[in-house]
Chain A
Amino acid sequence: MRYSWGMLVGGVRVALGLFFLFLFSLLTPGALSAADYVGSDVCRTCHPNVFTPFFRNPHYKSIASGKEKPENTGCESCHGPGQDHVKAGGGKATIPVAFSGLAPEKVLDACLRCHSQTVSRANIRRSEHTQRDIVCTNCHSIHSSPAPKFLLAKQQQSEVCYGCHASVRAQFSMPFKHRVNEGFMQCTDCHNPHGSFAATWNMSARPRMVDQAGGNEEPCLKCHIDKRGPFVYEHAAVRVDGCETCHSPHGSTNARLLKRPVTFTLCLECHNGFANFGRRLDGPQNPSASHNLADPRYQNCTTCHVRIHGSNGSQLFFR
């Protein structure tokens, strides 16, 4: 048998066709007939309490559009085709996707079918929440959200988070805290609950859910603009290990969210002069002999070292 050029081209075409068919089969779910979809108006017949206010729901866009495919429109875009459910005269068992009975990963799959298309959710599959089975419906209420935005399950965003993070609630109950309970801030000002990119301002695998400021900096700098620098003289601890070296960001019993009630012990715990530490490996410099630490005058380090976050005029942060 002789092999012609045409046969070769044909073979390649068949192989490519099979390859793309294989890829297509991987990427697309099993197709359903359009006849399986009944449309949201049918759902309305038995579920008027859900459908009547649904025009306020962001998901109503799919119905209003009128251009979406049946599997992307209204109730059936999330709950699946309703034909069997209608034929059976209702019943939870006949709803193809009933969220109350879904495994967490299936809930995630259902929502991400549309909602994966944003960079803020690019890491949701590997996020700490997902790895602990905390998925969309744990925080969002699609049909009965009391929140003005994002269909949150509770009126205040912080209340959603406190539901699991009770220790964080305790921290925000302290006398000195960021004003989250008061409504000035929200948890998402600093955190990305859908999973953030790895923090690159320090070495540790933690924190994992902290969102970066625009330029990949710590989120503290979104508000604390004067601490951003750059400065001619940086307090290296701020840049190398981050603001948490000295501050407890959620709340503290100490003024200015400091980790210690007095300043000098906070400073001395690093500035002990012991070698091998510090940016120059000669140890963060300990106070010189002119500092009599028994005198309260020298116990408030920042009285003289005023520009402790960074200075342009003084290596010792005097001005």
Chain B
Amino acid sequence: MTTTKSAPFLFAMLAITLHAQIPVAPTAESVGLPRGDTISGYNVRQSFELGYRWHSVGGDTGMYRSTVNYGNGPRLLSSSLSVNSVDGHGGYFDLLQINTLGLGNDPYESASLRLEKNRLYRYDLSWRSDAYYNPGLTISGGEHFLDTVRHVQDHDLTLFPQSSFKFFLGYSSNTQTGPALTTVQQFDVRGDEYPLFADIRRAQHEYRLGAELNLMGFRLNVLHAWVDFKDDTPVGLGVPSQGNNPADLNSLTSLQRSEPYHGTSPYWRVALFRENKLWAANGRFSYVAGHRAFVDDETAFGFNRVGAPTGTQIVTLGNAERPALAGNFTFSLFPSAMLTLTNQTSISHIRMVGNSYYTQITNGVFSTPFNPFTFLGIRTIANSTDADLRLTKWFAVRAGYEYSTRRIRSIEGADITGVTTPPSARVPIEQENGLHTGLLGLRIRPLKALSILLDTEIGRADHPIYPVSQRNYETYRGRIEYKLKSFRLAGYSRTDYNTNSASLANFASRSRQHGIDGSWIPKNWFSIDASYTKLHLDTLGAINYFAQLTVGPPQQVTTDQSRYVSNIHSGNLSARVSIRQRVDVSVGYSLVQDVGGSVRSGTDALVCDPSGGCAGIFGLAVVPTSQTFPLRYLSPQGRVSLRISEKVRWNAGYQYYGYHQDFSALQNYRAHTGYTSVLWAF
């Protein structure tokens, strides 16, 4: 009894559907299922896709780089190497597996390696690189620009992976380097803002050591890690600057800032767990002792708001501590095959304590130094119980309840030199929050191919910490799926409501998501996949600010509201045709369109520009205003893949990106990208 010959091919078809919005390269199609060559007891398989990427951008290149960022040049688009011991008794290893993606200057590159010797060791390496470009839109009108590269690597070695006593060794590093812009405000609160150049240099290294022990049916997992963080980003002013408001008298002629920052976050994690036929239990405990030591030395010269020459030096140094303890304990009972009962308790206790020394010299005058101190303590305890009852093969119900309580303690203050704050002033302000949550879910499977899921969750909080926090919230979810062999159709709906109203403030958000998606593979040479999602968000929050609405000083506006409406339609479509198993043609289309919100009145239809704010919004200060940000982001793509031989394919692909926003054409772009490559697998 064997499966049909077309099954692997059909499976390969299944595996490469749902690719509509994935970048067109590397090629998803493979040349087949290579058997590889067997050498000295190892089976070796390799594949390389070597190609050339190109792109052409019209419009805002910065926005293209921020959202897509593929460039020109030759690339090793993907590669893989797997070496398997045929009998599972290799010399130094039984498995060697290497996979790479985008090597050769793609903005997103990755490589992974697994090396394994059965019963003895397993080593995993992951290396990733991300070239992040952000013109800083929204934030500071583009003045917080970033052009950095982040490298992340993780090494994990497990000794005796299949035994009852394992050892873990690990190392991770995360570095971010590159140029950036930041801003500073000088020389007093009514001064001006100046863009500064920063050369970002930050790195984190983590070393891990752990073990897992099987003892009397319990698994004990212990991990200790040392985390070391350094940030030594120099910040300076390139050339003298009039600031963002050249009409005033403020200017900055030089600024130099050095702020070395070093810290450690060693942590312990201990987990104990066991599962058997009638019950399961697990507990986890973690403790982190976060510590940071810092110095900030800043020297600035220029002219202040009345045009007087001013020089300041600010020195800040000190320490910040954050010990954090967390524990979870979960106990599950399986009294019968139909019923699962679970109770979970968690506790989190975190304290943030900081002390620093602050001194400032302005025009040679040594202002009184002071020691700011702050404390923030958060303790959360939660307990939840849920039951999952499978009444019949086609009907199940689940229900749960969770109560969580949180205590927040806060102190903020400063000791002036020679005048120490009395201890009474350091009594923390304390508050307690409670949240009750209930959930109910149904699982119905009237037919083997049809499943229906319904869920609701209702939460009631008695004292949320922020106006936008969850207070009275309700979530309703439904999903229906029909899946029969090569056909699948699913629809879903989700609604989240949150209302957080107090005596003077109110905040309400309504989020609704509806969608339908499906895939169909009627023949082994044809597949199609499509999805549509509507994402709606509508929030209304009370705001309070000062604005110069008439001639004279700014007036306080306490009755205004911030209304934000977003209606996003997102669709994906992809199809693939294989002609005589030699030529594969795939096409895809992805569209994201925020059509904005409804207009309440003729003067209420405001759109906001991320780079320039909502000009004129406060002309309507006492009536609800609508912020809405219509845009369209689309990306059609097509690819041809020609099988030249058993081992070689030639591929070519094209992908278009179009970004268009209604408010300002300055950020719009259209980009043509493409590639051609040869895929060689053997």
Could you say which of A12-20, A75-83, A114-122 contacts chain B? A114-122
The answer to whether B610 touches A255 (Cβ under 8 A) is yes
Which residue of chain A has the shortest Cβ distance to B628 in the bound complex? A261
Which residue of chain B has the shortest Cβ distance to A251 in the bound complex? B592
Chain A residue numbers with a CB within 8 Å of B23 are 181-182
Chain A residue numbers with a CB within 8 Å of B139 are 255-256, 263, 300, 302
The answer to whether B429 touches A281 (Cβ under 8 A) is yes
- Alpha-carbon separation in the docked complex, A204 to B290 (Å): 25
Most B CB atoms within 10 A — which of A216, A230, A275?
A230
Q: C-beta contact mask, A297-310 vs B, less than 8 Å → 1, else 0? A: 10110111010000
The answer to whether B548 touches A292 (Cβ under 8 A) is yes
The answer to whether A229 touches B290 (Cβ under 8 A) is yes
- Say yes or no for A64: interface residue by CB 8 A criterion: yes
The answer to whether A300 touches B141 (Cβ under 8 A) is yes
The answer to whether B547 touches A254 (Cβ under 8 A) is no
Q: When the two chains form the complex, which single residue of B3, B193, B292 contacts A312, counting CB atoms closer than 8 Å?
A: B292
Q: When the two chains form the complex, which single residue of A171, A230, A260, A291 contacts B292, counting CB atoms closer than 8 Å?
A: A230
Q: How many residues of B contact A (CB 8 A)?
A: 227
The answer to whether B202 touches A225 (Cβ under 8 A) is yes
The answer to whether B22 touches A279 (Cβ under 8 A) is no
Which residue of chain B has the shortest Cβ distance to A273 in the bound complex? B544
Question: What's the minimum C-beta distance from A309 to chain B, rounded to whole angstroms?
Answer: 12
Question: What's the minimum C-beta distance from B247 to chain A, rounded to whole angstroms?
Answer: 11
The answer to whether B410 touches A236 (Cβ under 8 A) is yes
- Contacts known (A169-B21, A216-B324, A279-B408); A154 close to B15, Cβ less than 8 A: yes
Could you say which of B280-288, B417-425, B578-586, B642-650 contacts chain A? B280-288
- Contacts known (A167-B494, A184-B110); A155 close to B457, Cβ less than 8 A: no
- Alpha-carbon separation in the docked complex, A198 to B402 (Å): 11
- Alpha-carbon separation in the docked complex, A82 to B88 (Å): 23
- Say yes or no for B344: interface residue by CB 8 A criterion: yes
The answer to whether B2 touches A46 (Cβ under 8 A) is yes
Question: What's the minimum C-beta distance from B371 to chain A, rounded to whole angstroms?
Answer: 10
The answer to whether B89 touches A200 (Cβ under 8 A) is no
Describe A's contact surface by its main secondary structure: loop
Q: When the two chains form the complex, which single residue of B101, B137, B296, B330 contacts A183, counting CB atoms closer than 8 Å?
A: B101
Question: What's the minimum C-beta distance from B285 to chain A, rounded to whole angstroms?
Answer: 9
- Say yes or no for B340: interface residue by CB 8 A criterion: yes
- Contacts known (A274-B505, A303-B140, A303-B143); A167 close to B202, Cβ less than 8 A: no
Q: When the two chains form the complex, which single residue of B352, B542, B556 contacts A289, counting CB atoms closer than 8 Å?
A: B556
Chain B residue numbers with a CB within 8 Å of A293 are 545-547, 554, 618
- Contacts known (A27-B276, A184-B108); A315 close to B544, Cβ less than 8 A: no
- Alpha-carbon separation in the docked complex, A47 to B3 (Å): 8
- Say yes or no for A56: interface residue by CB 8 A criterion: yes
Could you say which of B49-57, B315-323, B672-680 contacts chain A? B315-323
The answer to whether B468 touches A269 (Cβ under 8 A) is yes
Q: When the two chains form the complex, which single residue of B376, B386, B439, B513 contacts A279, counting CB atoms closer than 8 Å?
A: B376
Q: 8 Å CB contacts to B: which residues of A216-254?
A: 216-217, 222-223, 225-226, 228-234, 236-237, 239-241, 245, 253-254
Chain B residue numbers with a CB within 8 Å of A304 are 183, 185, 193
- Say yes or no for A262: interface residue by CB 8 A criterion: yes
The answer to whether A26 touches B347 (Cβ under 8 A) is no
Q: How many residues of A contact B (CB 8 A)?
A: 136
The answer to whether A125 touches B275 (Cβ under 8 A) is yes
- Alpha-carbon separation in the docked complex, A82 to B490 (Å): 37
- Say yes or no for A10: interface residue by CB 8 A criterion: no
Could you say which of A1-9, A31-39, A172-180 contacts chain B? A172-180
Q: 8 Å CB contacts to A: which residues of B455-474?
A: 457, 459, 461, 463-470
The answer to whether A204 touches B467 (Cβ under 8 A) is no
- Alpha-carbon separation in the docked complex, A113 to B21 (Å): 38
- Alpha-carbon separation in the docked complex, A253 to B328 (Å): 36
Q: When the two chains form the complex, which single residue of B12, B400, B505 contacts A146, counting CB atoms closer than 8 Å?
A: B12
- Alpha-carbon separation in the docked complex, A206 to B477 (Å): 14
The answer to whether A262 touches B610 (Cβ under 8 A) is yes
Which residue of chain A has the shortest Cβ distance to B466 in the bound complex? A270
Q: When the two chains form the complex, which single residue of A27, A133, A166, A296 contacts B612, counting CB atoms closer than 8 Å?
A: A296
The answer to whether A223 touches B138 (Cβ under 8 A) is no
The answer to whether B355 touches A232 (Cβ under 8 A) is yes
- Contacts known (A184-B110, A262-B138); A133 close to B443, Cβ less than 8 A: yes
Chain B residue numbers with a CB within 8 Å of A270 are 466-468
- Say yes or no for B256: interface residue by CB 8 A criterion: no
The answer to whether B18 touches A163 (Cβ under 8 A) is yes
Q: 8 Å CB contacts to B: which residues of A155-207?
A: 155-156, 159, 162-164, 166-167, 169-176, 179, 181-185, 197-198, 200-206
- Contacts known (A156-B22, A163-B18, A256-B138); A278 close to B465, Cβ less than 8 A: yes
The answer to whether B275 touches A116 (Cβ under 8 A) is yes
- Alpha-carbon separation in the docked complex, A125 to B334 (Å): 10
The answer to whether B137 touches A255 (Cβ under 8 A) is yes
- Contacts known (A64-B87, A277-B466); A181 close to B629, Cβ less than 8 A: no
- Say yes or no for B502: interface residue by CB 8 A criterion: yes
The answer to whether A179 touches B544 (Cβ under 8 A) is no
Chain A residue numbers with a CB within 8 Å of B206 are 214
- Alpha-carbon separation in the docked complex, A269 to B506 (Å): 10
- Contacts known (A288-B546, A289-B556); A198 close to B382, Cβ less than 8 A: yes
The answer to whether A162 touches B18 (Cβ under 8 A) is yes
- Contacts known (A229-B322, A254-B138); A112 close to B541, Cβ less than 8 A: no
Q: C-beta contact mask, B71-90 vs A, less than 8 Å → 1, else 0? A: 00000000010101111110
- Alpha-carbon separation in the docked complex, A125 to B261 (Å): 43
Which residue of chain A has the shortest Cβ distance to B515 in the bound complex? A166
The answer to whether A245 touches B87 (Cβ under 8 A) is no
- Alpha-carbon separation in the docked complex, A255 to B84 (Å): 45
Question: What's the minimum C-beta distance from B618 to chain A, rounded to whole angstroms?
Answer: 4
Chain B residue numbers with a CB within 8 Å of A116 are 275
Which residue of chain A has the shortest Cβ distance to B563 in the bound complex? A265
The answer to whether A159 touches B231 (Cβ under 8 A) is no
- Alpha-carbon separation in the docked complex, A319 to B673 (Å): 41
- Say yes or no for B372: interface residue by CB 8 A criterion: yes
- Say yes or no for B564: interface residue by CB 8 A criterion: yes
Question: What's the minimum C-beta distance from A270 to chain B, rounded to whole angstroms?
Answer: 5
Which residue of chain A has the shortest Cβ distance to B533 in the bound complex? A170
Q: 8 Å CB contacts to A: which residues of B612-653?
A: 612-615, 618-619, 627, 629, 631, 633, 635
Which residue of chain A has the shortest Cβ distance to B553 in the bound complex? A289
Chain A residue numbers with a CB within 8 Å of B515 are 166-167, 170
The answer to whether B326 touches A255 (Cβ under 8 A) is no
The answer to whether A230 touches B354 (Cβ under 8 A) is yes
The answer to whether B43 touches A56 (Cβ under 8 A) is yes
Q: C-beta contact mask, B504-547 vs A, less than 8 Å → 1, else 0? A: 11010000010111000000000000010101000101111111
Q: 8 Å CB contacts to A: which residues of B86-111?
A: 86-89, 94, 97, 99, 101-102, 107-110
Chain B residue numbers with a CB within 8 Å of A166 are 490, 492, 515-517, 531, 533
Question: What's the minimum C-beta distance from A156 to chain B, rounded to whole angstroms?
Answer: 7
The answer to whether B610 touches A281 (Cβ under 8 A) is no
Chain A residue numbers with a CB within 8 Å of B513 are 167
- Say yes or no for B298: interface residue by CB 8 A criterion: yes
- Alpha-carbon separation in the docked complex, A241 to B461 (Å): 13
The answer to whether B130 touches A184 (Cβ under 8 A) is yes
Q: When the two chains form the complex, which single residue of B244, B337, B467 contacts A105, counting CB atoms closer than 8 Å?
A: B337
Chain A residue numbers with a CB within 8 Å of B3 are 49-50
- Contacts known (A55-B84, A268-B543); A256 close to B275, Cβ less than 8 A: no
- Say yes or no for B426: interface residue by CB 8 A criterion: no
Q: C-beta contact mask, B373-386 vs A, less than 8 Å → 1, else 0? A: 11010101010101
Q: Which 8 A-B pairs rank lowest in CB-CB distance, beginning with the nearest? A: A64-B88, A232-B354, A215-B288, A230-B322, A299-B613, A200-B348, A170-B570, A274-B505
Extra A-B contacts (14), CB below 8 Å, given A133-B443, A175-B592, A198-B346: A56-B43, A65-B162, A159-B15, A166-B516, A169-B531, A198-B344, A204-B470, A217-B324, A223-B150, A233-B372, A239-B376, A293-B618, A297-B193, A306-B144
